[in-house]
Amino acid sequence: MRRIGLIAGNRRFPLCFAQAARKNGCSVVAAAIKGEASPQLRRYVDKIYWLGLNEFQRLLEIFKKEGINEVVMAGQISPRRLFSKEVTGSKELAALLSGIKDKKADTIFGAIAQSLSDSGLKLLSSTIFMEDFLPKKATLTKREPDLSTWEDIYFGLELAKAIALLDIGQSVAVKHKAIVAVEALEGTDNLIRRAGKISGGDFSLIKVSKPKQDARFDIPVVGLGTIKILARSGAKCLAFEAGKALFLDREQAVALADKKGLAVVAL
């Protein structure tokens, strides 16, 4: 049986990945980050170890002991932890971070990927086994965007690609062809909340992959939680790239979007 190591952060992605991997006949051993990964994860993996963010060496030792040589990273780590004493007080992490040119997402994850590789671990695409979660081009809700919304979508799409190329973020909020908010370290959910406060609602969220997206990490992910926050913030549309963004809990998410009159589009 193929054995996969899972480095699990927060949200639903690690749970969905573990279930998909099992359906594909794999055994999953999870290294779950304390304070991030859901306790529910234990239901979907064969074995789980809980680690602090600063226990990178222990993570390597666990996978070696378990005979793991293929690893997937799924789920976010709260950005604020990058500046916490947990990280700055760890000699191991401090050495890893001090050796990189900047603290962009790709740079950090790239350094982690290289460290895994140096230890004999192959970091796989985080979309492996997840093909069913990558929607094809379509309007996924009953509501179609109107003309002005389509104009906002394509206006925002070009700009979102530009900030993604610079590895600043992957989402923008647009209203009447004005950029309301741009995603940075705070993440998409906080961007949505900020956009709602600034715009008073009726905005569109456009989320893209990076032009040179490394499929091993930082894949765009939306889902039921995204729709809930968009609805509470008064948004009118969510648009993301077909085949390049994971859409988790799609059935429930689309049902809620339909209920709230929110359009969801895979571009």
Instruction: Sketch the domain layout of the chain as residue ranges.
Output: 3-123, 134-266
Q: Would you state the pLDDT for residue 240?
A: 98
Q: Would you state the pLDDT for residue 86?
A: 78
Q: What's the CA gap between 122 and 116, in Å, rounded?
A: 7
Q: Would you state the pLDDT for residue 95?
A: 78
Q: Do domains 3-123 and 134-266 have the same CATH topology?
A: no
Q: Would you state the pLDDT for residue 146?
A: 97
- Contacts of residues 100-105 at CB distance under 8 Å and 24 or more positions apart, as own/partner, are 104/167, 105/167, 105/217, 105/218
Q: What's the CA gap between 28 and 21, in Å, rounded?
A: 7
DSSP characters for 186-224?
Answer: T-HHHHHHHHHHHH-S--EEEE---TT--TTS---EE-H
Q: What's the CA gap between 191 and 253, in Å, rounded?
A: 19
**Would you give per-residue pLDDT tens digits along the chain (267 residues)?**
999 999 999 999 999 999 999 999 999 999 999 999 999 999 999 999 999 988 988 999 999 999 999 999 999 888 778 777 777 777 777 777 778 888 888 888 888 889 899 999 999 999 999 999 999 999 999 999 999 999 999 999 999 999 999 999 999 999 999 999 999 989 999 999 999 999 999 999 999 999 989 999 889 999 999 999 999 999 999 999 999 999 999 999 999 999 999 999 999
3-state secondary structure of 81: helix
3-state secondary structure of 100: coil
**Cβ(240)–Cβ(160) below 8 Å:** no
CA 241 to chain centre: 14
Q: Would you state the pLDDT for residue 218?
A: 86
Q: Which CATH superfamily is domain 134-266 in?
A: LpxI C-terminal catalytic domain (3.40.140.80)
Q: Would you state the pLDDT for residue 104?
A: 83
- Six-digit token string for 99: 């050796």
DSSP characters for 15-58?
Answer: HHHHHHHHHTT-EEEEEEETTTS-GGGGGTSSEEEEE-TT-HHH
- CATH label, 3-123, candidates 2.100.10.30, 2.120.10.70, 1.20.120.420, 3.40.50.20: 3.40.50.20
DSSP characters for 233-261?
Answer: TT--EEEE-TTTSEETTHHHHHHHHHHHT
pTM for the whole structure: 0.93
